[in-house]
Chains A and B, each alone.
Chain A
Amino acid sequence: MKRFRRFISIAAAGVMMVGLLGGCGSSKKNDAGKNGEINVFVWTEYVPDSVFEKFEEETGIKVNVSTYSSNEDMLAKVKSETEGTYDIVLPSDYTVELMIEQGMLEELDQSKLTNLSNINEAYLDPSYDPGNKYSVPYQGGVAAIAVNTSMVDKDITSYDDLFDPSLKGELVVLDDYRAVIGMTARSMGYSMNETDPDKLAEIEDKLLTLKDNVALYDSDSPKSALISGDCSVGMIWGAEIALAMEEDPNIKVVYPEEGPYVFMDNWCILKGSKNYDNAMEFINFMLDADTAQMVSEEFPYLCPNKAAVEAMGEEYSGNIAKNPPEDVIAAGESVKNLDNDTLAIYNDMWTKLKK
């Protein structure tokens, strides 16, 4: 009996410990490679491990990877850590602008970006970072609609169709307030970056009608819910749709009539980086055509690397889910930075939607 008591107390202590630690993530840091290391902080399901491994093999620089699932997550994390914790981040367009304004980014040494010529000129010199002083494009795309045609009878052609009551409990949408509120705004003919309070009130009314339709908010791997059949319609990243289509041929991609939410993600180096040269080497490596092709094969987003696009041929260019048509991109809109008061209204709407 005594032994049993002791066993129980140890076991109980174990439970408490695990209970306390449950949900906490931990990151282990290995020894640096022979040529030093870099700490990269990137989106989940966006940069293949094989690419990091190839870089480590070629350069002897150890890559430590951490991930985030929204720009806002990344900002919060970077600000809460000491300078130099991360060397490289991968923010979207509007976040690049925000980070430049705050002096969070280090200028890129243009002389080391020998592979920049691989990038399609259409994606260079963007309005959020004129002259690519702080950022170079990685991948982009749109938030499109995925429909499992074996489960849905309704003909879905627009963001507006997602609000149809017949889709109750069928939707998976991005867990990203600018995307979901922006999608609602566009379905009403408004801008994703609306600031007029009256229009925002209208948008809120419509947004709340989406509540019953959404079964799941997921930005990390929304394709899983589509493939598993738990959701039949999704408003998710384009490449997630392309991957879902490979698993289940009944899934189709629909580009909304209103013009989609478009984005471009960019490599940047953070102020205070302790491994600047290695980071530059990494960014240049990511601009290489072979690397871009490896990335596209695993995470088929819009690829701004024209050399890679050429090498991939029809496999990429002919697939409209991977390579959105030019008129779709042209009709789209990207997220812009908004003032604090407006963002507070956006946040409020999001809370109401999720209650």
Chain B
Amino acid sequence: MELGERNEKLIKKHKWRSNNLPAIATVGPVALLLVLLVAVPLIYVAVMSFCTTDQYYNVVFSFSLDNYKNLMSADYMKIYIQSIVIALLTTIICILVGYPFSYLIARTKSRWKQLMYMLVIIPFWTNSLIRIYGWRTFLGTKGWLNTILQTIGITGGPVDFLYKQGTTVFGMVYCLIPFMILPLYTSIEKLDGSLLEAAADLGAKPFKRFLTVVLPLTSGGIFSGCIMVFIPCLGYFFVSNILGGGNSDVIGNLIERQFKSGNNWPLGAALSIILIVITLLLVKLYQKIGGDMDELGV
């Protein structure tokens, strides 16, 4: 009797082990990594966003909603709106430039395909900060562009290209366009050519074919490209710092300032939470309009 009970216990234990051990062994390390590197820092940021600072800029752990109250003021609202406008413009330009380009790469059969793809990728083997500094030199009053324009007589005097909102948008487009082209390329590549032939056989003109067949079938790529351009755009503070001269701040600039010269980490943490909330809302919106989470590819 006693022996049987003990056996039963052992069997139970063994069963539990054989059911769960493989799962723990395979998923465990990843889960641990995610908890340590994603969940814990996020919780830390969230907790800090309710703290305050003392006169020496040290973080004081207490509960206060002041940070969020400050961030709802009209001045901050203006910067949120400004950065959303910058991000929106960047995204639109990325689609307008990226779509035809991706279509070209995906549909062409020529040997240029690989080369065109390389043209998108190669600049990314250099640090983006250096490339943005390069643009600052190129676009300066005594830079190459102005020199060329004046030499061939298009402009009489130097044109001020730098330190404008437009320059910031340009820099953002330049930095982020591959993130639009890559998902677009994948979705256009997957497009079944026979559907286009069928549409043509049924008498659809090229423009109509594009509108009713190509566009709906590649909308997933467009959405994921938009998300991947729009969201980093809100945070790329170095682009607006270098090319916008501090006149076109995005949310990332505000965060950077609070963590560095402002020395108000709790306020910076609250700003980061706001950025995360905006991001989550956008991803939710993306799901709502039927985007596939796998398409985001991140």
- Cα distance A217–B163 in the bound complex, in angstroms: 10
| B246–A339 CB distance below 8 A | no
A230 contacts B140, CB within 8 Å? yes
Closest 6 CB pairs of A and B: A216-B245, A217-B246, A22-B128, A229-B141, A215-B163, A72-B261
**B98: min CB distance to chain A, Å:** 14
A115-123, A169-177, A256-264, A279-287 - interface stretch: A169-177
Q: Is B274 on the interface with A (CB-CB < 8 A)?
A: no
Cβ of B259 under 8 Å from chain A? yes
Interface code A1-42, partner B: CB below 8 Å = 1, 0 otherwise?
000100110011011101100110000000000000000000
Note all chain B residues with C-beta closer than 8 A to A70.
260-261
Identify which of B56, B160, B238, B246 contacts A175 (C-beta below 8 A): B246
Distance A177 CA – B141 CA, assembled complex (angstroms): 27
Instruction: State which residues 258-272 of B face A: CB under 8 Å.
Output: 259-265
User: Given the complex of chains A and B, what is the CA–CA distance between A217 and B241 in angstroms?
Assistant: 8
With both chains docked as a complex, state the minimum distance between the C-beta of B105 and any C-beta of chain A, in angstroms.
10
Check A98 for interface membership: any CB of B closer than 8 A. Answer: yes
- Assuming A175-B246, A230-B162, is B182 touching A76 (CB within 8 A)? no
Report whether A15 and B124 are in contact in the complex, using a CB–CB cutoff of 8 Å: yes
Which residues in chain B, 17-43, are within 8 Å of chain A measured between CB atoms? none
B16 contacts chain A at the CB level, 8 A cutoff: no
Q: Is A215 in contact with B182, judged by CB distance below 8 angstroms?
A: no
Interface residues on B, range: 35 or more
Q: How many residues of A contact B (CB 8 A)?
A: 43
Given B58, B129, B175, B298, which contacts A79 in the complex, CB threshold below 8 Å?
Answer: B58
The complex places the Cα of A11 from the Cα of B125 at a distance, in Å, of 10
A200 at interface, CB cutoff 8 A = no
Task: Please tell me if A111 contacts chain B, counting CB pairs below 8 Å.
Answer: no
Known: A72-B261, A351-B76, A355-B249. A11 touches B58 (CB 8 A): no
Chain A residues in 8 Å Cβ range of B142? 228-229
Q: Which residue of A lies closest to B143 (CB)?
A: A228
Chain A residue contacts of B137, Cβ below 8 A: 228
Question: Is B201 at the interface (CB under 8 A from chain A)?
Answer: no
Contact of A351 among B75, B163, B260, B298 (CB under 8 A): B75
